[in-house]
Structure 1
Amino acid sequence: MSTNATHEFPSLVGGVPLPVDFAPSILFACLYAVMLPVVFWRIIHPRSRSAALAGTTFFSIERVVAYALRAKASHDLGSRMSKGLETYLQVTYAGGFITIGQDLANVTRSLLVAYTLGGDMLAKHKLTPQIPKCGSSFEMQEPFATLPEGRFDTGGQGDPAITDHPRTRYWIRQMSGIWALLFLVTIILSAIAGADYKEAIATGADAALVRWLRYVSTGLAIILLHGVGGLAVWAYFYMPRVPRSSVVWIVLVASLLSVVGIYRVDTMFHNTTSLTSTAPGSLTSNLSKAGFYVFHVAPEFLAVAILMSLNTRRVFATGMWGDWRISDPKPQNNYPSNTSSTSRLNSLPQFLWRLPLVGFLLRTCRATP
């Protein structure tokens, strides 16, 4: 199929892979590959294993494949002109930073919820906040000791000296729930734009729709990333128990991902008529490609490297699954172990009393002193 057309379609972010792309593609493929042992260590080691960064973990593995394919296409004309490959690369470029941002929102929620816990709520959640020393809400001790079942030792019924903040926790969960839905919408819009991109290249159909879907998904992602960073900054000033270093990491990663989104917004208005075009706006010039690697690829890698190098369970208090609750668990009714036999008999179903033999035996037991 010819790669030349008379219609316009949105230019490929990063441009078509050319020989000049070989070296940087190999570089970032190797960087992600070098990071894989750390990724697998986080998965294997029980003290750092957490599902809160599942998306970022898969992203790290996928990027090795993506940049290896880009390096191959830079010297292989058949791969370079493959609309399927170019569509795949555009989809993964569009959704990558959004996936990392979604995980960042997850760990931010876990961090802030964990440090609103107090009293018996500490024992009812499987998060791993560091407990402040007695008499001070600013000094931090080691996290709870990990038990074999994956629970955390809080010393029994929790620490009554630590103030519980259920209202703050409620609003953090409500806001985080809205974020989760909006991130899902963003990913869906990005996927639809990617699915239609191949048709936009071939016939020009839905080219305008693809462009606007890319704008909406990227713009919404930038807003959400600023919201996550803003909430972390708020916690820095109004939640003294939250570790300051954890907040700094969240703001740094959110800023790096925002750079990716802003770069995409700045380049997505360009159009081209051919995958082989080198005309202005095709994003295939050396300057355009340098901008792609500096403002898109590098910030993504730094964000992933930061999240993967940190012990998520310790730094962000995620536990194994993060905070997934809609509300706090309700207290369980604890019945005393010395309940009298009479009260236990009275709690039996009424139909047992109607059975002649059973009724006789039960009445005999009640009459026995």
Structure 2
Amino acid sequence: MSSSPTVFFPSPIGGVPFTIDLAPSVLFALLYAALAPLVIYRVASAKSRTIILAGTFIFSLQRIADMALRAQEAHVPSDRTSNSNIKYLQTTYATGFIGMGHGLLEMLRCLLMNATKGTPPSETSATCPDDIELQRPPIGESTNTSPSKMGSKDNVGVVYTPVDSMRSRSFSFTPIPATTALFPPTREDQPGRRKRIQTIASLTLIPFGISILMAIIAGNNYYKSFTSASEGHTVGLVRAASTSLALILFQATNITAFTCMVTDRRVSRSRALYICALTCLLSVVGVYRLVVMRCTTDALESTAPCSLNSNAAKAAFYVFHMAPEYLTAVAIWGVNIRATFQTGTWGKV
């Protein structure tokens, strides 16, 4: 009687939680739990609540449950191979960072749309700037400039303002450089460009949605790959496509933010760099996932090379997957995104 052939399937991201996973899982569960009060405050406060952080909100609270479940599996060996637990964890690992990435794209949208707004009328009123004042010459000092000399070549490019002399009631003139701007420059409103930015940002919902949908499909069908090599191949392709698409979107966000910061003086440099830094952090997660997706195994609890169950593989998971996600979440919730990017509750500019 011939035995059934060995089926290799994609190794689970993060491996199967062993006893060694208990401490780091509890640590991350506590870290996310400590972040929860700030998350709830940002969402509850009318001054900081905004829909563009919906994905980050779900992720931040969900990771508490994820890490708690991982800690339980590390402590209870019988839970490690539960199909429901495996599906849940593989799905949340695949979708969490994508949701935060979409939030960063929405921040970029708000930043660029605000940069297209013109200067308010109150800032361009025809009034003399406060820093240009009529001045009196010092007592005892006479002025060498008189109205008769206004046309001399030595005074070309000089603007004169009348000054009431302390020693006489006649007018004298104090030179002011001609380069001094009497009125602040106006900034043209760009409604057409603002509309194009809004349209492009809205269209990116489609690829982000596709990426998340593929991650969910791959996670839900992951357990089927245990008994079918073809199913395992399909799951591997789908989850790789999901992460690849997310990485492409992240880099598009990164490049756009950096390019606009360099080429458009209206775009805030600090806010653009903030988006670039967090996008790079999330990209670390995507690159890590693509690197380990080449690994396959023939058993969930195998410790063979490429099973992602070795100590080194577990350490890499926490360093390159869990840590960047947590740092990104802290950086997002640590800032009042609504005020910083001048948006509203529903993300409007």
Shift of 1:191: 1.1
Q: How much does 1:87 deviate?
A: 1.5
- The residue that corresponds to 2:73 in the other structure is 73
Aligned-partner Cα distance in 1 for 2:342–2:11: 42
> Structure 1 residues 132 and 293 mapped into 2: Cα distance closer, same or farther (>3 Å)?
farther
Matching residue of 1:100:
100
Q: Secondary structure at the match of 1:274?
A: coil
Match of 1:276 in 2: 301
Kindly indicate whether the alpha-carbon contact (under 8 Å) linking 1:270 and 1:281 is maintained by their aligned counterparts in 2: yes
**TM-score, normalised on structure 1?**
0.74
2:306 paired with 1:317: no
Question: Take 2:223 and 2:348, find their aligned partners in 1: how far apart are those partners?
Answer: 38
Q: Secondary structure at the match of 2:252?
A: helix
1:219 match? 244
How big is each residue's C-alpha offset from its partner over 1:240-298, in whole Å with a ceiling of 9 and x where there is no partner? 22222111110011000100000000000110111111111100000001110010100
Take 1:161 and 1:320, find their aligned partners in 2: how far apart are those partners? 29
For the 8 Å contact 2:6–2:298, the answer to whether it is kept is yes
C-alpha deviation, 1:161, in angstroms: 4.3
The 1-side partners of 2:102 and 2:11 are apart by 26
User: Paired residue for 2:190, among 161, 165, 184?
Assistant: 165
**Deviates most, 89-98 or 205-214:** 205-214
Gaps of 5+ in 1: 123-130, 136-159, 325-369
Counterpart residue number, 1:184: 209
Q: Give 2:109's aligned residue.
A: 109
Structure 1, residues 58-94: CA drift from partner, whole Å, max 9, x if none? 1100000000000010010121121210111111001
Deviation sequence 1:288-315 (CA, Å, 0-9, x none): 0111001010001111111111101121
Aligned counterparts of 1:205 and 1:34: Cα–Cα separation in 2: 43
Q: Does structure 1 residue 243 correspond to structure 2 residue 277?
A: no
Aligned length: 288
The 10-residue stretch of structure 1 (315-324 or 109-118) with the greater mean CA deviation from structure 2: 315-324
Secondary structure of 2:244's aligned partner: helix
State how far apart, in whole Å, the 1-side matches of 2:205 and 2:97 are.
15
Q: Identify which range, 174-183 or 216-225, moves more after superposition.
A: 174-183
Report the alpha carbon displacement of residue 5 of structure 1 after superposing the two structures with TM.
8.4
Q: 1:257 aligns with which of 279, 282, 300?
A: 282
Q: Secondary structure at the match of 2:6?
A: strand
How many angstroms apart in 2 are the aligned matches of 1:45 and 1:83? 39
The one-letter amino acid of 1:19's match is T
Cα RMSD, aligned residues only:
2.3
- 2: distance between equivalents of 1:264 and 1:133? 52
Structure 2 counterpart of 1:305: 330
Distance across 1 between alignment mates of 2:106 and 2:334: 17
SS, match of residue 332 in structure 2: helix
Q: What amino acid does structure 1 have at the position aligned with 2:209?
A: L
Q: Distance in 1 between matches of 2:28 and 2:96?
A: 14
SS of 2:347's equivalent? coil
Q: Secondary structure at the match of 1:56?
A: helix
CA distance in 2, matches of 1:275, 1:133: 68
Q: In 2, distance between residues paired with 1:38 and 1:258?
A: 25
Q: Match of 1:24?
A: 24
1:192-222 C-alpha deviation (Å, 9 max, x unpaired)? 1112112112444511110001111111100
Distance 1:168 1:244, change over 3 A: same
In the alignment, the residues of structure 1 paired with residue 20 and residue 290 of structure 2 have an alpha-carbon distance, to the nearest angstrom, of 24
| Counterpart Cα distance in 1 of 2:247 and 2:231 | 24
2:259 to 212, 229, 234: 234
Report the CA distance between 1:38 and its aligned residue: 0.5
Moved more, 243-252 or 195-204: 195-204
The superposition leaves residues 78-136 of structure 1 with CA deviations (integer Å, 9 ceiling, x where unpaired) of 2112121011111100111111111111121122112212268x9xxxxxxxx98989x
Asked if the contact 1:52–1:318 (Cα under 8 Å) also holds between the matched residues in 2, the reply is no
Moved more, 252-261 or 104-113: 104-113
State the shift of 1:167 in Å: 3.1
Alignment match of 1:175 (pick from 200, 211, 234): 200
Question: Does the 8 A contact of 1:113 with 1:323 survive in 2?
Answer: no
Task: Give the 3-state SS of the residue equivalent to 2:338 in structure 1.
Answer: helix
Is 1:48 the counterpart of 2:48? The answer is yes
Structure 1 residue aligned with 2:314: 289
TM-score, normalised to structure 2, is 0.78
In the TM superposition, what is the alpha-carbon distance from 1:320 to its structure 2 partner?
A: 1.3
Residues 5/47 of structure 1: CA separation in 2 closer, same or farther (3 Å cut): farther
Q: 1:171 to 1:203 in 2, by over 3 A?
A: same
**Cα distance change on mapping 1:291 and 1:170 into 2, 3 Å:** same
Q: Is the 8 A contact 2:7 2:227 kept in 1?
A: no
Do the aligned partners of 2:25 and 2:67 also contact (CA within 8 Å) in 1? yes
Provide closer, same or farther for how the CA distance between residues 204 and 168 of structure 1 changes in structure 2, counting only shifts above 3 A. Answer: same
Gaps of 5+ in 2: 127-184
Residues 9 and 168 of structure 1, relative CA distance in 2, 3 Å threshold = same
What SS does the aligned partner of 2:308 have?
Answer: coil
Sequence identity (%): 40
